[in-house]
Amino acid sequence: MENVNKNKLVKIIIASDHAGYELKEQIVKFLEEQNYSVNNLGCYSTQSVDYPDYAVKVANDVKDNTSFNKGILVCGTGSGMVITANKIKGIRAVNCLTKEMTEMAIKHNNANILCLGARILDTDTAINIVKTFLETKFEGDRHQTRINKIHNLTQI
């Protein structure tokens, strides 16, 4: 019961384009089964949409950390989503292919948006990456200094 309440404190916003729709739905199902608080911003079918529209919505909701602690974006490769999300100041989006990449992205970069490629990853691998993204803790210290330097480079 304690784990259920702990997971509810982590608020996750998720979105995808048409290529990532089916994987996103599987991730939403997993997160809800784990009792996370999830806001699914779409898309809601495999009909073609523009991924930047969804990346910006999620990034804007995560950047101030007032409504959502973490974001997840899914497209065909994860590349378009990560490029777009990182245009927003305060966002540290990462496109991860392995559990190890994800661990380091949190421990050293305090990533706040995870981008995934539905055409690259199978569902089980993607779910394991999501679990790692949510369970790994930021190490802080010298890494925070580096993150501050990165954010000072962001223009908008």
Of 18, 108, 143, 151, the catalytic one is 108
| Sheet containing strand 70-75, strands side by side | 37-40, 11-16, 70-75, 113-117, 93-95
Alpha carbon 28 to chain centroid, angstroms = 12
The total number of residues shown for the chain amounts to: 156
Tokens 């990853």 identify what position?
A: 121
- Side chain identity, residue 141: D
CA-derived radius of gyration, the chain: 14
Instruction: Assess contact for 82 and 95: CB atoms under 8 A.
Output: yes
Active site residue 151: no
β-pairing, 70-75 vs 37-40, is: unpaired
Active site residues: 108
